[in-house]
Amino acid sequence: MSLAAGLGTATIYALQPAIADVADSLHASLAAVGVALACGPLGYMVGLGLLVPLVDRFPPRRVLSAQVGALAAALLLCALVGDVLVLGATISVIGACSAVGAGLSSVVGRLASPHRRAATLGLLTAGISAGILAGRIVGGWLAEVIGWRGMLMAFAAACAAVAVGLLLVVPGTRGGAERGYLATLKSIPGLLVRNTALRSAATRGALWFFAFCAIWAGLAVALSEPPYSYSAERIGLYAFAGLLGIPATRVAGMFTDRVGARRVILLGLAVAGAATVIVGFALSSAPATLLCLALFDAGLFAAQVANQSTVLAIDPAAPARFNSAYMLVYFVGGSLGTAFGATAVERFGWPATTAFAAAAIVVAAAITLGARGRSVPSTTPEPAEDLFIKSHAMEPPNGFHNR
């Protein structure tokens, strides 16, 4: 399941290192191709709203296998486009189908033990993190070796194989959703209005995902232009810096189960924010840039695991619609960040782009601080002894309670 989530996520980012090659091939500007790439997260949001709730209504193995199969077909079609507008349309379809990771997260949130929900989610998120890295690294390498069109065909073949594998490994147990499919879709916007915890989690998540996408999309543009003029393969290698984010997701999941989500979120944002500020002035130094990117990814991935675990805990029997609402807002931030990062570097420069990203992280941290424990609930049940003490807290004192 982690592999499938990672591969689906990788398809959104595979073209980023080759943005200059795609622009040359289609005779388009870097800004136009950057906007086309931003259609991936937009399509992802469509998939979140329309496809993720299906895993609580129908056997997940069938839903997710069909979704990845459609992803393979969309990648093959994208490899054949000859116009930037068609490129944006096909990338939208790829984005919608690549929401398989969110569907798998909903399955994990429903089936995992409450005491290990965040840790199990961390394992799946590690796969997604690896997919983000592999998308850029493998995408950049394959684009250099066989061209960006051949690279998309290779990803299509991998998705076709994984679609078959999902039929064998994904549980077929349906969720406890009582609403009809259309009623579930209509209820998603209302969840954000009525549920304070969901609204706070989605808002801060969107802010740091804006920062994440702005940094990585802007980095590809900054390194492809003078004075660097790096190749797509070399730009893709910068994604190796994010390897630290993979173990960070697992560690964050374990600590979230132990100390609560709020502390993990704040620590992750502090690390990512500091790294964002420094990388704005360190691009000329490859070692310093790689270190900052490693800490940046690790901090935000850790915050994401802790944040999403609180969303999945709201309704453990049928978490898909809450996860859909959360991820929809989350990827609004990502879409804006991708479009912003790809154009801001050309217009304002790399330091200004990182300053905007750092500001978004600071606002996310302020929301978390302001929420206190109210909007960042614990993801594990309280010990029986604590429940006993609370249940007697309002009773008249006597010798036992005074003890």
- Kindly state the tokens that stand for 264: 């993990």
Distance CA 164, CA 155 (A): 15
Under the banding of pLDDT at 50, 70 and 90, the label for residue 390 is: very low
Closest to 148 in 3D by CA, of 335, 23, 10: 23
- Kindly state the tokens that stand for 186: 């209509």
Instruction: Say whether pLDDT at 365 is over 60.
Output: yes
Instruction: Say whether pLDDT at 382 is over 70.
Output: no
Distance CA 200, CA 377 (A): 11
The residue whose two tokens read 């000329």 is: 284
- Report CA-CA distances (Å) from 21 to 33, 214, 358: 10, 20, 29
Average of per-residue pLDDT across 60-65 = 89
- Span of 35-39, 88-92, 312-316 with lowest mean pLDDT: 312-316
Percent of the chain's residues with pLDDT above 70:
90
- What mean pLDDT is reported for the chain? 83
End-to-end Cα distance, the chain: 50
Interval 88-142: pLDDT, tens: 999 999 999 998 988 888 888 777 777 777 778 888 888 887 887 788 788 888 9
Under the banding of pLDDT at 50, 70 and 90, the label for residue 398 is: very low
Interval 216-225: pLDDT, tens: 889 988 998 8
Domains of the chain: 2-171+185-381 (1.20.1250.20)
| pLDDT score for 217 | 87
Interval 289-309: pLDDT, tens: 999 999 999 999 899 999 988
| pLDDT score for 176 | 58
